[in-house]
């Protein structure tokens, strides 16, 4: 795998643009936002995202007719690498840009594409993902939220949970049962539902980080237009699975850049507070560094496969399992480095509190082995679909 001179030129262009634009009103946004910090400077990050959009730096992989650059996968990865390298603020529109957008490009009608893609690209409408329910997480086919036609509208009843950023979203793509009495993946439809309506209640769930980034979402006779179903009615499972495929998209291939920075920062803290005097900590830090190198080369291997075959395949589970386990371990190492200082936070008992960067990594990384396919599920995929081992017994 080599980057072509044109790719390198593209990299230089991205780097220059970010350098020239993460200045002035946006200068202070470096490093803002992201898991455990989504509450930070949301309006300013929204303005930054719209600034990116105006310069054509959103939805890079989309075809030009829908406002993208038709960028190759390699260039998309280069963009994310440079974005991470510049420590640019976490983007606010990832769900629309990376999950729903590609789904609509693959399954949406021309009318749906015309209605929904431009505001995603311009970051004028934000989206959330309404899949999980109290009884349907890893076992997503157990979805019980239902929708029925009433005149020109779908009427939706039920509950979703863990809906990230629902409190900030304008729209939600909802997996709902539209065929009464159906079971499992059959009889589900993929509906696009406006959030700002009386039939929808969003209740934030406070996490151990002290912040609330995901929510319970209740649908009580919520409505959406009959036309807002993606793919065929009762055949939404196929569409929902395609969205999950896009969720394992290209951005994570650039993650190791941010991880490398975290390791370097941690080593600096360990030098300063004397933790490196301990052999066990030195070994843990070296292990963490080795992990970043493994992610870097595994990422290149996956990118090569993507470029050559166009699909990631079940091997992408190795990447998800590895980075999430590695990051959780890094959080634990960070606590070893901090020692008893890691038990202290700024704030009043029982009230608001502020975590430092390392404490946040320790806590947030616990969620990473759960979302986008829990580690146990990734191991099942690797066992069954990569190694050809016997199938896990199904309940």
Ligand X SMILES: Cc1cc2nc3c(=O)[nH]c(=O)nc-3n(C[C@H](O)[C@H](O)[C@H](O)COP(=O)(O)OP(=O)(O)OC[C@H]3O[C@@H](n4cnc5c(N)ncnc54)[C@H](O)[C@@H]3O)c2cc1C
Residues identified as active-site = 247
Given the structure tokens 């394992």, which residue do they identify? 248
Q: Provide the 10 A C-beta neighbour count for residue 126.
A: 22
Judge residue 215's burial from the number of C-beta atoms within 10 Å of its C-beta, 0-12 exposed, 13-18 middle, 19 or more buried: buried
3-state secondary structure at position 369:
coil
Residues 119-138 that bind ligand X (CB under 6 A): 128-132, 137-138
The pair of structure tokens assigned to 197 is 């309506």
The residue to which tokens 């594409």 are assigned = 113
Alpha-carbon span 87 to 19, nearest angstrom: 11
Choose, by CB under 6 A, the member of 208, 307, 376, 389 that binds ligand X.
376
- Residue from 112, 371, 382, 384 touching ligand X (CB under 6 A): that is 371
Q: Is 67 in the site for ligand X (CB under 6 A)?
A: no
Minimum distance, C-beta of residue 378 to ligand X, in the bound complex (Å): 9
Nearer to ligand X, 30 or 183 (CB): 183
Name the residue among 368, 380, 258, 255 with its Cα closest to residue 317: 380
Q: Does 173 bind ligand X (CB under 6 A)?
A: no
The CA angle 171-129-195, to the nearest 5 degrees, is 25
Piece in contact with ligand X (CB under 6 A), picked from 11-19, 159-167, 243-251, 330-338: 159-167
**Selection from 132, 140, 66 nearest residue 101 by Cα:** 66
* Residue 132 beta carbon to ligand X: minimum distance, rounded to whole angstroms: 3
Nearer to ligand X, 74 or 378 (CB): 378
Annotate each residue in 196-235 with x if it binds ligand X (CB under 6 A) or - if it does not, as one string: ------------------x---------------------
* Residue 342 interacting with ligand X (CB under 6 A): no
Which of 167, 160, 127, 164 shows the shortest CA–CA distance to 145? 160
**CB nearer to ligand X: pick between 100 and 275:** 100
Tokens (6 digits) for 303: 């990118």
Rg of the chain (C-alpha set): 22
Q: Which is nearer to ligand X, 75 or 328 (CB)?
A: 328
C-beta of 68 vs 231, nearer to ligand X: 231
Instruction: Give the interface with ligand X as residue ranges (CB under 6 A).
Output: 128-132, 137-139, 162-164, 214, 367, 370-371, 374, 376-377, 380, 392
């Amino acid at each position: 795998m080599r980057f072509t001179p044109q790719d390198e030129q593209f990299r230089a262009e991205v780097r220059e643009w970010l350098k020239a634009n993460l200045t002035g009103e946006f200068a202070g946004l470096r490093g803002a936002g992201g898991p455990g910090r989504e509450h930070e400077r949301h309006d300013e990050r929204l303005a930054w995202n719209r600034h990116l959009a105006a310069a054509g730096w959103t939805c890079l992989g989309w075809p030009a007719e829908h406002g993208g650059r038709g960028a190759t996968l390699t260039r998309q990865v280069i963009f994310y690498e440079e974005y991470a390298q510049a420590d640019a603020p976490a983007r606010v529109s990832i769900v629309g840009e990376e999950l729903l957008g590609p789904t609509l490009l693959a399954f949406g009608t021309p009318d749906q594409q015309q209605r929904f893609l431009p505001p995603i690209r311009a970051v004028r409408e934000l989206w959330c993902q309404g899949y999980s329910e109290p009884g349907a997480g890893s076992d997503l086919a157990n979805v019980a939220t239902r929708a029925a036609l009433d005149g020109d509208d779908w009427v939706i009843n039920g509950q979703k949970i863990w809906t990230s950023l629902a409190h900030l979203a304008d729209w939600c793509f909802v997996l709902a049962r539209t065929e009464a009495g159906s079971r499992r993946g059959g009889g589900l439809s993929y509906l696009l539902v406006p959030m700002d309506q009386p039939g929808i209640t969003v209740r934030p769930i406070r996490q151990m980080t002290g912040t609330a980034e995901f929510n319970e979402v209740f649908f009580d006779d919520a409505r959406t237009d009959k036309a807002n179903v993606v793919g065929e009615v009762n055949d939404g499972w196929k569409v929902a699975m395609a969205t999950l495929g896009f969720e394992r998209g290209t951005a994570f291939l650039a993650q190791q850049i941010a991880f490398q920075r975290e390791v370097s920062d941690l080593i600096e803290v360990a030098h300063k507070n004397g933790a490196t005097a301990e052999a066990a900590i030195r070994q843990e830090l070296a292990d963490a560094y080795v992990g970043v190198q493994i992610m870097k080369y595994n990422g290149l291997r996956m990118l090569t496969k993507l470029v050559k075959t166009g699909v990631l395949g079940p091997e992408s589970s190795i990447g998800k399992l590895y980075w999430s386990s590695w990051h959780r371990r890094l959080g634990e190492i960070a606590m070893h480095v901090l020692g008893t200082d890691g038990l202290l936070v700024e704030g009043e008992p029982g009230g608001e509190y502020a975590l430092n960067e390392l404490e946040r990594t320790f806590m947030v990384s616990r969620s990473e082995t759960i979302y986008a396919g829990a580690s146990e599920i990734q191991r099942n995929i690797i066992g069954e679909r990569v190694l050809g081992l016997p199938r896990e017994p199904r309940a």
